[in-house]
A and B are shown apart, each in its own frame.
Chain A
Amino acid sequence: MFDGIIQNIFNALQWGSFYSLIALGYCLVYGVLLLINFAHGDVFMVGAYLAFFLATFFLGAGSLPHWLILVLIVPLTMILTSLVGVTLERVAYRPLRRKGANKLYVVITALMCGLILEHTNLAILGAGRRSFPTLVDQATINLAGLSVTHLKIAVIIVAILVFILLELVISKTKIGMAMRAISYDRFAIPLMGIPPENIIVFTFVLGSGLAGLAGLLFAMSYPVLDPYMGAMIGWKAFIAAVVGGIGEIRGALVGGFLLGFVEIMAVAFFPSTFRDLIAFTILLLILWKKPTGLFGVSRYQKI
């Protein structure tokens, strides 16, 4: 009984880490552009596929040790995924922003970009699921009678480290200050001599890189890939980001872990088909009580 609870807590932390990593990407872009980047879930999917191709490539290339492959594919996946994110920004969002189009049109464009990524993948690679090669052996740590895989602990630690790093970048560095400034007043930014486009590109690099990292970790933990894997996780992570208070990276972390816990606990006590129902109902109730999310600050409108 007790073991089961601890096991569930670890599962919840792991899923919470995935949600948080994706939610952070939503949150960064939202904080800077006030744009819901609906393609983010599919960028995560692209990240997982890129990791898959890189891993199979390096495994086929020669007799590299597994740890070296892992060391190689983590940065490579992140870089390639952030390239995808930046390409989206350059090709689809920036021209619209330049024209001063209504924000909703940018959101629709993002939604469409997500669909394009999904279905191009489906059309080119086929509907067959792919299984990710094992890079980390499924060794377990025994902690007082219960066993947890290395990978699970690594995922949780990575998510928390990423969060701390991001918090440092945003609160301590100059570019982080520029990111905060741009969400505060986007018209004053060019006047202060900060190039806003560079900041936006940097934000997309960060966000998509994190999605790539999440994709890699997800593919290693649940080694079955299919083109639609990003959609549902993406939507859920987005809801988590909103519940945390979108635009606040603390909120994304807390929201992600909250969603992870709610889902795992729902499955632990109810039939698994009730998972989404319970999770979404709880999130909806939170939003009813606190419309701007847990950490969000409501912006008062001046009359």
Chain B
Amino acid sequence: MKQFSIPAVLAVTLFILMGMSLGEGINLYWQDVIMFMGINIILSASLNLVNGYMGEFSCGHAGFMAVGAYVSSLSSVALFTRSSLFGAPILSAGWAVPLFPLCLLAGMAAAAISGLLVAIPSFKTRGDYLAIITIAASFIIKSSIENIKPIGGARGFMGMGQVSAAMSETADLPWMMFWIFLGTVFTIWILRRFVSSTYGKGILAISQDEIAAEIMSVNTNKMKIVAFMLSSGLAGLAGGLYAHKLGYVNPGSFTILKSTECLVMVYLGGMGSLSGAVLSAVVYTLMLEILRFVIPWINDLLHWAQLIPAEYQVTQIWKWVLIPLLLVLLMQFRPEGIMGRHELDDYFPWIKKFYRFK
């Protein structure tokens, strides 16, 4: 029983999500929130591999996300839709559903290769110097995309909405919800497999002591390449899903602010905790959405109490003051994040009885 519990729960969840989205059980707004939650889970879990498990400080995650977003969008638009850039579709719309994962895979592969931009300098560089290389790499990626005129440059690239439409021709299902769910599960599964394997434990060894790890026959350079490529590849997956979810991409979405969001989710959840990364992505996404409702209340309250001048409105910008403030407070009172370095079953050992998850 134990080995079937997680697949069963996931299958039921997917079934319920798809059914509810199809039957308007959850409205479009909450569907969006759930999809962004999935994308954020992929981002935070993948960055957690480098920043948490390996103990490096990579702050250019958005750059890899951009590579994945652009490559997968370009390939899917070229294959399934009529566009001004590629002309007529190469394949009929019926192929959209089976071949869409391949487009995502292409994005992942491209993002993983761009991860080499960071992985190779990391052989000699550590810590703050590596942090700067990741920032520079993400600036370089963003700036190069802005300078490639055929794919829209700084204005961005559109047409992924038609890809979703092509998929709906096969069967009228909420396909993006389906793919994001699969992508999220795939990410967590592959990361869990990786870090709990003997091979992947090399990464933990590097974070503890690189020299000792090397003496204990961990091929540190190879581990670093694997970690960076896996992490950036999964970021590319998140980017591809994000692009197809929104229907358009522009380089402005992949700024340092996006990287900061990823960092926030990693440290909110706790370095080196996969369940922490998932939990923090969920909490963070919900926090953003809840503040959207709370801020007007605060506005009304402050006006009612006459604490602020009548003509001043508390706008949604305050969200970006409150969230960092909450994080600063979190860092003061629980600097290790929600989960610390532990997984969920370290806190609740009884849940181990119900599942086996490798």
A contact residues vs B (CB 8 Å cutoff)? 30, 34, 36, 92, 95-96, 99, 101-102, 104-105, 107-109, 111-113, 115-116, 118-120, 122-123, 231, 235, 238-239, 242, 246, 273-274, 276-277, 280-281, 283-284, 287-288, 291-293, 301, 303
Contacts and interface: CB of A to CB of B under 8 A. Distances in A.
B343 interface: no
B131 interface: yes
Interface stretch (B87-95, B282-290, B317-325): B317-325
B134 to A, nearest CB: 10
A99 B131 CA distance: 24
Given A235-B135, A242-B128, A276-B139, A108 B331 contact: yes
A276 B140 CA distance: 7
Given A280-B136, A293-B129, A99 B335 contact: yes
A276 B314 CA distance: 35
Interface stretch (B23-31, B33-41, B143-151, B183-191): B143-151
A276 B154 CA distance: 13
B299 to A, nearest CB: 12
B268 to A, nearest CB: 9
6 contacts: A109-B327, A112-B331, A122-B317, A239-B136, A287-B136, A291-B129
A293 B317 CA distance: 38
A96 B317 contact: no
B239 to A, nearest CB: 20
B133 A109 contact: no
B328 A113 contact: yes
Contacts of A104: 51, 57, 267, 271
B132 A116 contact: no
B335 A119 contact: no
B131 A36 contact: yes
A271 B318 CA distance: 37
A14 to B, nearest CB: 22
Interface centre among A92, A108, A122 (most CB of B within 10 A): A108
Nearest to B51: A104
Nearest to A106: B331
Chain A binding surface, main DSSP class: helix
A30 B131 CA distance: 14
A282 to B, nearest CB: 10
B112 to A, nearest CB: 19
B132 A238 contact: yes
B324 A115 contact: yes
Given A104-B271, A107-B57, A287 B335 contact: no
B22 interface: no
Contact of B132 (A92, A105, A108, A239): A239
Chain B binding surface, main DSSP class: helix
B99 interface: no
Nearest to B142: A276
B331 A105 contact: yes
Contacts of B211: 301, 303
Given A102-B271, A107-B57, A113-B328, 12 more contacts: A96-B335, A108-B263, A109-B328, A111-B263, A122-B317, A231-B256, A239-B136, A280-B143, A284-B133, A284-B137, A291-B121, A291-B129
Nearest 5 CB-CB pairings of A with B: A112-B324, A277-B143, A101-B335, A119-B320, A291-B125
Contact of A123 (B317, B324, B331): B317
Given A96-B332, A246-B128, A291-B129, A116 B325 contact: yes
Nearest to A241: B132
Interface centre among B121, B256, B331 (most CB of A within 10 A): B331
Contacts of A238: 132
Interface string B271-297: 100000000000000000000000000
Contact of A280 (B139, B267, B331): B139
B140 to A, nearest CB: 5
Given A107-B57, A281-B140, A287-B132, A113 B147 contact: no
B197 interface: no
A284 B140 contact: yes
B13 interface: no
B69 interface: no
B133 A287 contact: yes
B264 interface: yes
B208 interface: no
Contacts of B136: 239, 280, 283-284, 287
Nearest to A287: B133
Given A108-B263, A239-B136, A291-B125, A273 B324 contact: no
Nearest to A123: B317
Interface centre among B260, B263, B328, B336 (most CB of A within 10 A): B328
Contacts of B132: 238-239, 242, 287
A118 B147 CA distance: 28
B124 interface: yes
Contacts of B154: 273
Contacts of B325: 112, 116
A293 to B, nearest CB: 7
Contacts of A99: 335
A112 B327 contact: yes
Contacts of B332: 92, 95-96
B219 interface: no
Nearest to B59: A111
Given A105-B267, A111-B263, A277 B140 contact: yes
Nearest to A108: B267
A235 B328 contact: no
Nearest to B325: A116
Contact of A277 (B135, B147, B271, B317): B147
A301 B131 CA distance: 19
Contacts of B327: 108-109, 112
